[in-house]
Amino acid sequence: MRFSEKPDSDSGHSPSDDEKKLAVSPGGYQTHDDLPPDPDAGLSAEEKAKIDRQLLWKLDLRLIPWLCLLYLISFLDRTNIGNARLVGLEDDLNITGGQYNAALSLFFVSYSLAEPLTNVLLKRLRPSIFIPVIMVWWGICMTTMGLVHNFQGLMAARFWLGLAEAGLFPGINYYLSCWYKRNEFGIRAAIFFSAAAVSGSFGGLLAAAIAQMDGVGGKPGWAWIFILEGIATVLIGVVSFWMVFDFPDEATFLSSVDRERVIRRLKEDKQSSAEHEEFKSSYLWASIKDWKTWLYAVIYMGTVSPLYAFSLFLPTIIGPNGLGFEGTRAQLLSVPPYAIAACLTVLMGYIADRTQQRGVCNIGIAIIGAVGFAMLLGSKQPSVQYAGTFLGALGIYPCIANTITWASNNTEGVYKRGVTLGIVIGWGNLNGVVSSNIYRRQDAPTYYVGHGVVFAYLVLFLLGGSTLMNFLLRRENANRRAGKRDNLVVGKSEQEVEALGDVRPSFVYTL
């Protein structure tokens, strides 16, 4: 009899604290584990479903809005330098286009190098401490950007800003995955990431308003953009000490009964992520040796590099050296593409959760983005090029959250998942160095080099990588159903089988 056909018996042992146990898709295979006592035993199915909906709503209200605000602030702080450039940053600091690009690049160096380990720190230091601390830190760095007087000061501020911000995006994605079931995570990750698109929209409006303070206190308008947004970040970071909660087993906003309910529903989804787990170096190596880690890194690279190129340089593309719009009008014209991208990001999160076809969603969205940048490359009509920025935004933003959710769904193990997400996001963000240097001043107004590089990333890495991953996972699922991986569990105890994580034959990958 094949392993996948064997009904697992209830062995009576507690779930392993060493590795996380995930559910499989409908029609797949699963192992059984002991569940904690049901606080709602004796209630009808309808009553339990009502309690579950109320609990999920409570989690959403307490977790999602504030975390979205934090990421909105984070993305605003890292990309507002593009808005500052429109109102005289380069002239006042007497820096060249190459030096400006170098300052952008340095942010991504420190940001990406720190990311792989930030989830380990988040787990060990607790979210309620780690996230507020790094927010206050980067808020101070952002404020100092408004006080610099030369290229060296700008470089130093950007380096420390990248280091401080590194823990937020991978940390919150990992944190949310420890609260929700796999088929609930995608839409919430999408809502969370849509804050990036909203920040692009909001950032243009805010920068246009703050720039009117030019000359106040002897500071130029671009400096006030950094100073005021930095102070706001510090204040929000301080409030976050009371607004960010720890993992489910210690969440103070839940009653003891609700904590039991959260942990039980995670265990029903074959998760133990709500519980404490002791770090072992084997989790690190399991992630590094997993081929999926690196292919997901390639896919993420294919969407995040275009993301940073787009968000950092959209004001430049629309501005006087690009499509020819100036000042406040250029700032305001950068708003609509972000707004529509935010809507599609949430919609695709919903669709991908319902269909569990995350690879297919990536493929379809990548094609839209490629068409958009083809329009930017192939036309000299401002109206056509501006329309291309809409399709470009639609083809980039939704794939960020979807790719992270895809990688999370297919990585089993609390720390292994954290390390994997750190590597995937860190490698992707390292490509921000490329994004920072492809829209060169000498290429204006066509920016063929920049548009061409983004087009290549979308086609080769996002579209090509998603297609390859979908094919390989589909083939591996077929092999497991055919019993071709059953040899991996021969002679192993149930605990040893669980420790295999997503390698075990009963684990079915999300496509």
Q: What is the pLDDT of residue 142?
A: 94
Around Cβ 203, how many Cβ atoms within 10 Å?
Answer: 26
3-state secondary structure of 7: coil
Q: In the chain, pLDDT over 70 holds for what percent of residues?
A: 88
Q: Give pLDDT, residue 35.
A: 63
What is the structure's pLDDT at 25? Answer: 36
Tokens of 142: 């952002």
pLDDT at 269 exceeding the cut of 60: yes
Quick check: 134 pLDDT over 90?
A: yes
**pLDDT given for residue 332 in this prediction:** 76
Whether 421 shows a pLDDT value over 70: the answer reads yes
Q: How far apart are CA 496 and CA 293, in angstroms?
A: 22
What's the pLDDT at 280? 63
Write out the two tokens for 191.
Answer: 């809502």
Q: Does residue 31 have a pLDDT over 50?
A: no
Residue that the structure tokens 């390390």 belong to: 419
Write out the DSSP string of 267-301. Answer: HHTT--TTS-----HHHHHHHHT-HHHHHHHHHHH
Write down the pLDDT at residue 43.
81
Q: Is the pLDDT of residue 3 over 60?
A: no
Q: What's the whole-model pTM score?
A: 0.76
Q: Is the preceding peptide bond at 445 cis, omega within 30 degrees of 0?
A: yes
Cβ contact 429:210 at 8 Å: no
Is the pLDDT higher at 278 or at 447? 447
- Show the tokens assigned to 296: 């997901």
pLDDT of residue 124: 80
In the predicted structure, residue 394 carries a pLDDT above the cut 90: yes
Indicate the angle between helix axes 168-177 and 182-210, nearest 10 degrees. 150
Quickly state the pLDDT bin for 460 (edges 50, 70, 90): very high
Q: Which pLDDT score, from 0 to 100, does residue 279 have? A: 58
The pLDDT confidence band at residue 432, using thresholds 50, 70 and 90, is: confident
The pLDDT-based confidence of 6 (bands split at 50, 70, 90) is very low
Measured in whole angstroms, the distance separating CA 234 from the mean position of its chain's CA atoms is 22
% of the chain surpassing 90 pLDDT? 34
What are the DSSP calls for 147-209, one per residue?
T--SHHHHHHHHHHHHHHHTTHHHHHHHHHHTTS-HHHHHHHHHHHHHHHHHHHHHHHHHHHH
Q: How confident is the model at residue 129 (pLDDT cuts 50, 70, 90)?
A: very high
* Residues 6+ away with beta carbon under 8 Å from 35: 264, 267, 268
Q: What is the pLDDT of residue 15?
A: 36
Task: Give per-residue pLDDT as tens, 84-122.
Answer: 888 889 989 999 888 988 998 898 888 888 887 787 788
Mean pLDDT score across all residues of the chain? 83
- The pLDDT of residue 372 is 94
| Model pLDDT for residues 358-369, shown as the tens digit of each residue | 999 999 999 999
| H-type alpha helices, 319-457 | 327-333, 335-355, 358-378, 382-394, 397-409, 414-430, 432-435, 448-456
Across 47-61, 79-93, 282-296, 481-495, least confident range: 481-495
Question: Burial level of 432, CB count in 10 A (0-12/13-18/19+)?
Answer: buried
